[in-house]
Amino acid sequence: MNVSPLIHEEEIAEAVAQLGRRLSDEYRDRELTILGVLTGSLIFVADLMRQIEVPHQVGLLQASSYRGTATSPGRLELNLDFLPNLQGRDLLLVDDIFDTGRTITGICEKLKEQQPRSIQVAVLLWKKARTVVETVPDFTCFEIPDQFVVGYGLDYDGLYRHLPYIGVVETDTV
């Protein structure tokens, strides 16, 4: 499979640092809980939380609507069993990519049952052309074209998450 760089490692580092500064200002004097969506956001969450200069909790949740080599979403499956207490806290839901928006919308609806003070969404990538919901991310590092991407946590059939950049997969291989 051929992967062509779309967003270089240095660009990602700068965007994550800028977002960290913005979130530090946004959540100053608030009870912040960062919730990463497994598995794609793992690298982004780790880098971002080191850039946020206010005390915060971290939790991880499993959400999946893409399986294996699928490039179209299926039914959303959630596992919220290992979350900290969210009641009354300000939540920052962090995901790797905002595609159709259905996954984030479904997660936010489920998280509201935990009675947080607020919920905001931060994503590394946003494919605006594919968005089909009214919800939009509150914070975005990059808007990208409707291309299949891997790297920096994003995968193709479980592979390529380790790449330090975001790359486009050649369309004849996906």
Question: Could you read off the pLDDT of 128-148 as tens digits, one per residue?
Answer: 999 999 989 999 999 999 999
The SS3 assignment for 36 reads strand
CATH topology of domain 10-64+74-145: Rossmann fold (3.40.50)
The answer to whether the CB of 40 falls within 8 A of the CB of 95 is yes
The answer to whether the CB of 94 falls within 8 A of the CB of 45 is yes
Residue 168: what pLDDT? Answer: 96
pTM of the entire structure? 0.90
- Look at residue 70 and tell me whether its pLDDT is greater than 70: no
- Look at residue 74 and tell me whether its pLDDT is greater than 90: no
Residue 79: what pLDDT? Answer: 82
Spatial neighbors of 45 by CB under 8 A, at least 6 apart, are 34, 36, 58, 60, 94
Residue 68 gets the label, from left (phi > 0), alpha (psi -120 to 50) or beta, of left
Can you say how many angstroms the Cα of residue 33 is from the centroid of all Cα atoms in its chain?
15
CA distance 160 to 151: 5
Active-site entry in 99, 138, 146, 157: 99
The answer to whether the CB of 22 falls within 8 A of the CB of 132 is no
DSSP secondary-structure letter at 156? Answer: B
Q: Is 81 a catalytic residue?
A: no
- Count of CB atoms situated within 10 Å of the CB of 136: 14
Residue 65: what pLDDT? Answer: 66
- Look at residue 173 and tell me whether its pLDDT is greater than 60: no
Would strands 3-7 and 166-169 be described as parallel, antiparallel, or unpaired?
Answer: antiparallel
